[in-house]
Amino acid sequence: MTLQKLLGIQLPIIQAPMAGSQGSALAIAVSNAGGLGSLPCAMLAPDAIRNELAAIKAQTSAPVNVNFFCHVPTAPNAEREALWRASLAPYYTEFGIDASKIPVGAGRAPFTEELAQVISEFKPSVVSFHFSVPSAELMARVKSWGAKLLCSATTVEEARWLEAHGVDAIIAQGLEAGGHRGMFLSDDLTTQISTFALVPQIVRAVKRPVIAAGGIADAKGVAAAMKLGAAGVQIGTAYLLCPEAMTSPVHRAALKSDAARHTALTNLFTGRLARGIVNRLMKQLGPISSAVPAFPFATAGIAPLRAKAESQGSGDFSPLWAGQNVGGCKEISAAELTRQLASELH
Ligand SMILES: Cc1cc2nc3c(=O)[nH]c(=O)nc-3n(C[C@H](O)[C@H](O)[C@H](O)COP(=O)(O)O)c2cc1C
């Protein structure tokens, strides 16, 4: 079965969910153009998710993918937090920030019973997960209204594991990808390989359709991924300059600059590895630091620095998530970009 048939879409192009950088508007535009738009929910409260799903329902009858993180939440650790705040102390002084007033907070929530209840009111036909899948009970709940489930895999082992746990299609996330690495069976960075090495190996290892993600930015890249056996592609970075995305001004400026050619994996902004454009914080404290609290607690300590810097037009403390190929970022409508990405498919 083709991916289009499985998901009820016309084009095998999935707009990657990008928490913090887009909402329903981008998803609606891509889905109405025949691709699969995605709504990232990791940074949304239940009411916000409800509002976004209502907006989607009002503006498209095409399928839209609803995306969640599935990390195992940990309790905040005072010792790690203190170490992290000490690393950031010189910056607090530079910006005149009173560190004692910065709250400890998570900022990103995993998929739960409560969120399953929220989405059950809308019965989305596609639901995707990052950092593994939820419990068998929650998976069954989401499948009960016929939803197809997708999840990112970054290794052959993760792909096999996802297939055994009932995922309908597997997103092969190569090392080039922007944003968080979906790795969940291992945190060993040496297991992570590039998209065009990963996709054919996962295609051979599993029976489910495989969706290629990471560094795909134009029609030739899409066609090449399909040649390697992918049933579809998931593209994030290329959509970040579309007017329907909520990409911040400093993020947009960075994506358009020469700096965008230099990305790295960093754990500084959340506590988990994610790929972004190298900026001041990454140069000075990382890109990878052992002083960082566990995911997602690193975010709270940086938040006031990010806010101050961004108000001065600087992305020095912002997560400038981007993949290794920003060559496809265009300031054109998401519908037009989707059509262009699909233009070399037969
Ligand atoms: C700004 C940004 C935010 C992202 N946020 C999410 C997210 O919330 N959920 C998710 O499953 N993947 C997220 N990703 C990863 C994408 O799903 C995908 O793996 C990646 O965009 C593919 O690589 P590309 O950016 O080179 O196209 C994000 C990627 C970017 C660039």
pLDDT tens for each residue of 240-258: 999 999 999 999 999 999 9
- pLDDT greater than 80 at residue 64: yes
Q: Using one digit for the tens of pLDDT, what is the confidence trace for 189-216?
A: 999 999 999 999 999 999 999 999 999 9
- pLDDT greater than 80 at residue 224: yes
Ligand 1 centroid, distance to 255 Cα (angstroms): 15
Cβ 134 under 6 angstroms from ligand 1: no
How much is the pLDDT for 246? 98
Atom 4 of ligand 1, residue of closest alpha carbon: 18
Q: Using one digit for the tens of pLDDT, what is the confidence trace for 28-62?
A: 999 999 999 999 999 999 999 999 999 999 999 99
Cβ 271 under 6 angstroms from ligand 1: no
How much is the pLDDT for 105? 75
CB-based contacts of 25, cutoff 8 Å, min separation 6:
244, 245, 246
Best of 26, 131, 180 to mutate for ligand 1, by most ligand atoms within 8 A of CB?
Answer: 180
Looking from the CA of residue 325, the nearest atom of ligand 1 is 26
Best of 18, 44, 69, 324 to mutate for ligand 1, by most ligand atoms within 8 A of CB?
Answer: 18
How much is the pLDDT for 108? 87
How much is the pLDDT for 73? 87
Atom 16 of ligand 1, residue of closest alpha carbon: 16
Q: What is the pLDDT averaged over residues 308-322?
A: 98
- pLDDT greater than 80 at residue 16: yes
Kindly indicate the confidence band of residue 324, based on its pLDDT and cuts at 50, 70 and 90.
Answer: very high
The pTM (predicted TM-score) of the whole model is 0.97
- pLDDT greater than 90 at residue 277: yes
Ligand 1 centroid, distance to 236 Cα (angstroms): 5
Ligand 1 centroid, distance to 94 Cα (angstroms): 32
How much is the pLDDT for 278? 98
Cβ 44 under 6 angstroms from ligand 1: no
Cβ 154 under 6 angstroms from ligand 1: no
Atom 9 of ligand 1, residue of closest alpha carbon: 17
Q: What is the pLDDT averaged over residues 158-168?
A: 98
- pLDDT greater than 80 at residue 107: no
Ligand 1 centroid, distance to 88 Cα (angstroms): 27
CB-based contacts of 162, cutoff 8 Å, min separation 6:
133, 151, 153, 170, 206, 208
Q: What is the pLDDT averaged over residues 124-139?
A: 98
Cβ 234 under 6 angstroms from ligand 1: yes
- pLDDT greater than 80 at residue 276: yes
- pLDDT greater than 80 at residue 279: yes
Atom 15 of ligand 1, residue of closest alpha carbon: 179
Residue 184 backbone phi and psi in degrees, to 5: -140, -20
Q: What is the pLDDT averaged over residues 274-289?
A: 97
Atom 11 of ligand 1, residue of closest alpha carbon: 130
- C-alpha atoms less than 13 angstroms from C-alpha of 31 in its C-beta half-sphere: 26
- pLDDT greater than 90 at residue 6: yes
Looking from the CA of residue 236, the nearest atom of ligand 1 is 21
Question: Which comes out higher in pLDDT, residue 215 or 107?
Answer: 215
How much is the pLDDT for 100? 86
- pLDDT greater than 80 at residue 268: yes
- pLDDT greater than 80 at residue 106: no
Q: What is the pLDDT averaged over residues 13-22?
A: 98
Provide the pairing of β-strand 148-153 with 13-15.
Answer: unpaired
Exposure string (b/e) for 104-140, b if CB count within 10 Å is 16 or more? Answer: eeeebbbbbeebbebbeebebbbbbbbbbbbeeebbe
Ligand 1 centroid, distance to 133 Cα (angstroms): 17
Across the chain, mean pLDDT equals 96
How much is the pLDDT for 238? 98
Cβ 18 under 6 angstroms from ligand 1: yes
How much is the pLDDT for 19? 97
Looking from the CA of residue 129, the nearest atom of ligand 1 is 11
How much is the pLDDT for 104? 79
